[in-house]
């Protein structure tokens, strides 16, 4: 008893931080290190020859993007911009190399930095420090675009976004690793009761075991909670993923890796409105225009649109649970039809968006509650899943 009491009163400080298991560098880690080292060597070789060193990055803009429905996502074009060392670029040149050097250390130590932390780390760089995070983000985006040419994502460089990941429940075992002992961890996503598994910021190291028939990506936390509390994942033999609006990078990458690895289809269940279709679903499936260098990692080309569709509003008699489209909705829908290569490439989508515009209304997934709280489980999802060929592309 006495011993326990003294332990309670003792400060936590005497305990040493947990030692982390030495980690075998995997293939991608080796690739990351080799990219960083070869870039640095090129710069050094230029200096040794008394030439001004230069770094070349892919141009990140809509003008340098292409979309091929067969590839399935917005790709980076061939445009490049060079950053040569001059009086004007000396600071950003140094910052680029510094950030790449941190990245090397983090890969070697199995550590990471949020984009915000990376900005703060620079405060110890003397004159090379960043004054605003927008500066460090821009340099990081360039490095990321460079690495993407080698099939490496920013997470592989160990820079993570600040954003929160999505939640997962259902017939899935996630394979992770104890950071201290290196022992394998099996995380059974059927075992969390009313709670769920929260996706970490980086998912590259995760493995998966599942016999589930599909992944259901769900827009709202409320719908996710309903399907989880009623163990819908058991009756439908699936995996539920809550995206919480537009899915974060980690959530998209998690779904993509899981779907690729286990070869299972992905169905999106979102609100029937231009935001749900042109932002949430489009970003999930093909990525976004101004981040084309990362789409190859973060989009889920195999995703299909289960609903809610404009036709569902009619088929499930939801008219009096709809809301009129606002000006911003109409603008977003028209933009999608006019400017978005994804919707232009798929006729069924043109038809669906035209239908929504002519009906002049939008419907949320929770509107199905009009027919009873569990209508979605007992009627809507089974009827939709019985005709998967009708899903929008």
The residue within the footprint of a copy of itself, chosen from 27, 48, 127, 387 (CB under 8 A), is 387
Tell which positions 302-341 bind a copy of itself, by CB under 8 A.
320-321
Give the whole-angstrom CA distance, residue 36 versus residue 101: 8
Question: What interhelical angle do 27-48 and 133-148 show, nearest 10?
Answer: 110
Contact 45, 60 (CB under 8 A): no
Tell which positions 219-248 bind a copy of itself, by CB under 8 A.
220-222, 225-226, 229-232, 234-238, 242, 244
Q: What does the per-residue mask of binding to a copy of itself show for 15-34, with x meaning CB under 8 A? A: xxxx-x--------------
Q: Which stretch binds a copy of itself (CB under 8 A): 29-37, 198-206, 324-332, 348-356?
A: 198-206
Nearer to a copy of itself, 146 or 241 (CB): 241
- The CA distances from residue 320 to 313, 316, 371, 384, in Å, are 9, 11, 11, 21
Contact 363, 314 (CB under 8 A): no
Count of residues binding a copy of itself (CB under 8 A)? 89
Q: Which stretch binds a copy of itself (CB under 8 A): 109-117, 140-148, 339-347, 350-358?
A: 109-117
Q: For the stretch 306-344, what's the b/e string if a residue is b when 16 or more beta carbons lie within 10 angstroms of its beta carbon? A: bbbbbbbbeebebeebbeebeeebeebbeebeeebbbbe
Is residue 147 near a copy of itself by the rule CB under 8 A? no
Is residue 79 near a copy of itself by the rule CB under 8 A? no
The residue within the footprint of a copy of itself, chosen from 273, 364, 391, 392 (CB under 8 A), is 364
Nearer to a copy of itself, 60 or 362 (CB): 362
119, 120, 267, 380: the active-site residue? 120
Q: Which stretch binds a copy of itself (CB under 8 A): 88-96, 136-144, 354-362, 377-385?
A: 377-385
Give the whole-angstrom CA distance, residue 300 versus residue 160: 20
Give the whole-angstrom CA distance, residue 165 versus residue 243: 8
Query: What are the residue numbers of the active site?
Result: 120
């Amino acid at each position: 008893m006495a011993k326990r009491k003294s332990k309670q009163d003792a400060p936590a400080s005497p305990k040493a931080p947990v030692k982390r298991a030495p980690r075998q560098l995997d293939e991608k880690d080796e690739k990351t290190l080799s990219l960083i080292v070869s870039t640095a060597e090129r710069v050094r070789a230029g200096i040794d020859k008394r030439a001004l060193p230069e770094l070349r990055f892919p141009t990140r803009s809509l003008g340098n993007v292409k979309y091929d429905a067969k590839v399935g996502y917005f790709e980076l074009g061939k445009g490049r911009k060079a950053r040569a060392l001059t009086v004007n670029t000396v600071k950003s040149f140094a910052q680029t190399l510094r950030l790449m050097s941190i990245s090397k250390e983090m890969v070697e130590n199995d550590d990471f930095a949020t984009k915000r932390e990376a900005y703060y780390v620079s405060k110890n760089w003397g004159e090379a420090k960043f004054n605003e995070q927008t500066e460090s983000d821009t340099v990081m985006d360039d490095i990321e675009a460079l690495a993407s040419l080698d099939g490496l994502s920013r997470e592989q460089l160990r820079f993570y976004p600040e954003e929160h990941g999505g939640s997962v429940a259902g017939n899935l075992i996630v394979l992770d690793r104890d950071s201290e002992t290196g022992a394998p961890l099996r995380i059974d996503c059927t075992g969390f009761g009313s709670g769920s598994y929260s996706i970490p910021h980086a998912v590259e190291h995760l493995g998966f075991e599942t016999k589930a028939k599909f992944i259901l990506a769900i827009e709202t936390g409320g719908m996710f909670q309903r399907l989880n509390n009623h163990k819908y994942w058991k009756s439908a033999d699936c995996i539920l993923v809550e995206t919480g609006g537009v899915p974060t990078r980690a959530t998209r990458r998690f779904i993509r890796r899981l779907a690729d690895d286990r070869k299972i289809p992905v169905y999106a269940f979102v609100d029937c409105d231009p935001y749900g279709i042109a932002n949430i679903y489009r970003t999930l499936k093909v990525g976004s225009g101004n981040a084309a260098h990362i789409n190859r990692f973060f989009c889920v080309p195999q995703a299909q649109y289960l609903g809610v569709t404009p036709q569902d509003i009619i088929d499930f008699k939801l008219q009096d649970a709809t809301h009129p489209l606002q000006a911003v909705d109409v603008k977003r829908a028209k933009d999608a039809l006019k400017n978005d290569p994804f919707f232009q490439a798929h006729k069924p989508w043109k038809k669906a968006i035209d239908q929504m515009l002519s009906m002049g209304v939008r419907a949320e997934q929770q509107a199905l509650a009009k027919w009873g709280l569990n209508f979605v489980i007992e009627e809507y999802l089974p009827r939709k899943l019985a005709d998967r060929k009708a899903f929008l592309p």
